[in-house]
Structure 1
Amino acid sequence: MGEMSNNQLGVMGALFLSVASSVSIVICNKALMSNLGFQFATTLTSWHLMVTYCTLHIASRLNFFENKTIDMKTVMVFGILNGISIGFLNLSLGFNSIGFYQMTKLAIIPFTVMLETLFLKKQFSDKIKISLSILLLGVGIASVTDLQLNLVGTILSLIAILTTCIGQILTNTIQKRLNVSSTQLLYQSSPFQAAILFVIGPFLDQCLTGQNVFAYTYSPSVMVFILLSCLIAVFVNFSTFLVIGKTSPVTYQVLGHLKTCLVLGFGYTLLHDPFTSRNIFGILVAMVGMGLYSYFCTLETKNKHTPSLSSQVKERESTPLLVSHLDKESKFQLFKIEAHA
């Protein structure tokens, strides 16, 4: 019970850190891009990852966490894939309307469910699927407006969805199968993510904005907001890996849509963005979907734990000590390689 309670506290802390840091960085970046005219999103993301790596490197040197070596091929492919997915998401935003881009983000959840079902044999109950459908409907009502389709934008969106789903599934799977923490995986992979974005970032940003990031005039205000954005990004990147590792890619996407609703609310409250009854209704529907998803996930988790506890009691009563010990060891090893939830 103590371990379960500590795990629940860890999950709640990770979720809170993810929401707080993500909403903060959205507000910071909106001020940087909308008010100060710094439009180079992909290049900025590469700086985020560089600062994240440097911060974790210092933390490792100070023994805040133990560095664990991961197979170079695995971490390189993983890092480059995540970097590419960020690039394609930005391209999708550049070549599509805001409404179609929001639809792209909404499509990540059903695509993730499909991939996990097909390749990892994970089962999603009808209740979970219904709650996710209500959530997606609500976020769609609140955030999707115009839907302008074009061939190039659609192809870019499909690639962005696929790479994002695979990257998030791998984030969970690598942590579970290789028994590494979110910090260790982020530390190992962030240099590769930063490198690929640093190479392609200026080119993508110039294609999307028509401006050169290296020719931009950096005022003191811009530098302060860039630095602030990079510092907040350390917590965003860390909490992203932490949440996906402790929960699942689908739960992380659900959390992402909660952030969307919060950003809409903060935008209206703090930045006086337009807000309609449609936005309010969509957010309320989305909150209902999130509540149902959380309730059904908690219920299913309890149902999974209950029989396992009773079976352990039976084993202790009927199984010799040596056999019981070996059985527990085999269960532990099986748990370590289990596909992510």
Structure 2
Amino acid sequence: MSAEQGRIIFCLCLNAFSSIAIVYTNKVIFKQHAFEYGTLLTAIHFFITALGLFVCRLMGVFEPKRLPIIKILPLCLGFCGFVALTNVSLVYNSVGFYQLIKVLTTPMLVIIQTLFYQKTFSTKVKLSLTVTCIGVGLATVSDASATLAGTLVALSALLITCMYQIWVGTKQSELRCDSFQLLYNQAPLSCLMLLPVAYFADDLPNKYFAPCGPTIFLIAFSGFLAFFVNISIFLVIGKTSPVTYNVLGHFKLCVILSLGFLFFDDEMNLRILIGIVTTLLGVFWYTYVSMQEKEKEAAIIQVRHEEEHMDDSDSNGKNV
């Protein structure tokens, strides 16, 4: 295993562990502590992420790079749009339809990247993704009722989600920055942009909440986890691809469903079980195929380097 492969595996594991932990932490905050401000919590997450990155900068973890606001604005708008439209989609649609739209994120990413970003996907990759999405659909989608308005909102949320994930990767190349530098510029601006969204989405003027010490601690802990979730998202997409990040998300879903059944008395029936097994088969198949293709690409690059080196040697010999 190369050092780069080790770093990728570390980023994948970091995202998986932190994402699963934050799901259960937020569940406690929302249900046991009656904190009903989901969008505001997301803004707090990005504030703590920005604060954490500032500390990392002081510690020399990364070298800050000032990026033009106009260049990162689409990324910030994409994130805020994703948060806002996702919340609206949950209001207008059933949970089943909401989950169905989430399943469509992966094929939509493949379509967008193929049509507009000249990205190619092998038949084996497409088949493995199909198996994965079928599994997720079986495990999560039940009643998929929706209205016309709800469908339009859900499709808008789907499109913006895909574009946000794609931009997380392309902006790093376009602006010649790493994951830390990009998120360091995006997090504060996204936090500020989310505050007015939270004001209306969470109906802050008409709600009053006086948090106690344990609630404040859990919110802070959730923000701490969000720091690792956010930076690992940027690292995973930057080092792999938006599609790989989505496949990782499907794996996390299987873990969350399984843990919910084992420890929290969540529902588990034959359909959900078959869905989890099918999803895991698709995830492992995608991982295997992707690793094979990466090895082939590395071998081709190595052969090209050797051929170029031989050509240079021949040219030098002739000149002598």
| Alignment of structure 1 residues 80-159 onto 2, 5 Å | 80-159=77-156
Q: State the match for 2:244 in structure 1.
A: 251
- Tell me the amino acid that sits aligned with residue 25 of structure 1: I
- Normalised by the length of structure 2, the TM-score is 0.94
Q: CA deviation at 1:202?
A: 2.5
Q: CA deviation at 1:80?
A: 2.2
1:59 aligns with 2:56: yes
Q: CA deviation at 1:252?
A: 0.5
Q: CA deviation at 1:198?
A: 1.1
- Tell me the amino acid that sits aligned with residue 31 of structure 2: S
1:47 aligns with 2:44: yes
- 8 Å contact kept, 1:40–1:213: no
Question: How far apart, CA to CA, are the structure 2 residues paired with 1:235 and 1:153?
Answer: 32
Q: State the match for 1:192 in structure 2.
A: 189
SS of match in other structure, 1:128: helix
Q: State the match for 1:238 in structure 2.
A: 231
- 8 Å contact kept, 1:88–1:157: yes
- The range that moved more, 313-322 or 65-74, is 313-322
Name the CA shift for 1:322/1:249 in 2 (closer, same or farther; >3 Å).
Answer: farther
1:175 aligns with 2:168: no
Q: How many residues are paired up?
A: 316
**Runs of 4+ with >4 A deviation:** 211-214, 320-323
- 8 Å contact kept, 2:109–2:242: yes
* Residue among 264, 269, 279 paired with 2:262: 269
- Tell me the amino acid that sits aligned with residue 310 of structure 1: V
- Tell me the amino acid that sits aligned with residue 37 of structure 1: A
- Tell me the amino acid that sits aligned with residue 239 of structure 1: S
- Tell me the amino acid that sits aligned with residue 246 of structure 1: K
- Tell me the amino acid that sits aligned with residue 250 of structure 2: H
* Residue among 221, 232, 246 paired with 2:214: 221
Question: How far apart, CA to CA, are the structure 1 residues paired with 2:308 and 2:41?
Answer: 55
SS of match in other structure, 1:300: helix
Q: CA deviation at 1:201?
A: 1.1
- The range that moved more, 103-112 or 15-24, is 103-112
Question: How far apart, CA to CA, are the structure 2 residues paired with 1:265 and 1:74?
Answer: 41
SS of match in other structure, 2:120: coil
- Tell me the amino acid that sits aligned with residue 211 of structure 2: Y
SS of match in other structure, 2:202: helix
- Normalised by the length of structure 1, the TM-score is 0.89
Question: How far apart, CA to CA, are the structure 2 residues paired with 1:214 and 1:184?
Answer: 37
* Residue among 30, 35, 39 paired with 2:32: 35
- 8 Å contact kept, 1:40–1:202: no
| Alignment of structure 1 residues 10-29 onto 2, 5 Å | 10-29=7-26
- 8 Å contact kept, 2:134–2:278: yes
- 8 Å contact kept, 2:92–2:146: no
Question: How far apart, CA to CA, are the structure 1 residues paired with 2:206 and 2:264?
Answer: 27
- The range that moved more, 22-31 or 4-13, is 4-13
Question: How far apart, CA to CA, are the structure 2 residues paired with 1:320 and 1:59?
Answer: 46
Where in structure 1 are there 5+ consecutive unaligned residues? 324-341
Q: CA deviation at 1:219?
A: 2.2
Q: CA deviation at 1:279?
A: 1.4
Q: CA deviation at 1:299?
A: 1.1
Q: State the match for 1:289 in structure 2.
A: 282
Q: Percent identity?
A: 34
Where in structure 2 are there 5+ consecutive unaligned residues? none
Q: State the match for 2:293 in structure 1.
A: 300
Q: State the match for 1:334 in structure 2.
A: none
- 8 Å contact kept, 1:84–1:197: no
- Tell me the amino acid that sits aligned with residue 314 of structure 1: E
- Tell me the amino acid that sits aligned with residue 284 of structure 1: V
Question: How far apart, CA to CA, are the structure 1 residues paired with 2:29 and 2:212?
Answer: 11
1:164 aligns with 2:164: no
| 1:113-171 Cα deviation digits (max 9, x unpaired) | 11101111111111111100000000110111111111221111111111111111011
> Alignment RMSD, CA only?
1.7
Q: CA deviation at 1:296?
A: 0.9
Q: CA deviation at 1:307?
A: 1.8
Question: How far apart, CA to CA, are the structure 2 residues paired with 1:277 and 1:212?
Answer: 45
Question: How far apart, CA to CA, are the structure 2 residues paired with 1:322 and 1:8?
Answer: 36
Question: How far apart, CA to CA, are the structure 1 residues paired with 2:198 and 2:272?
Answer: 33
| 1:264-297 Cα deviation digits (max 9, x unpaired) | 1111122121211221111000000001111111
Q: CA deviation at 1:101?
A: 0.8
Question: How far apart, CA to CA, are the structure 1 residues paired with 2:207 and 2:64?
Answer: 34
| 1:228-272 Cα deviation digits (max 9, x unpaired) | 111111111111111110110011111111111111111112212
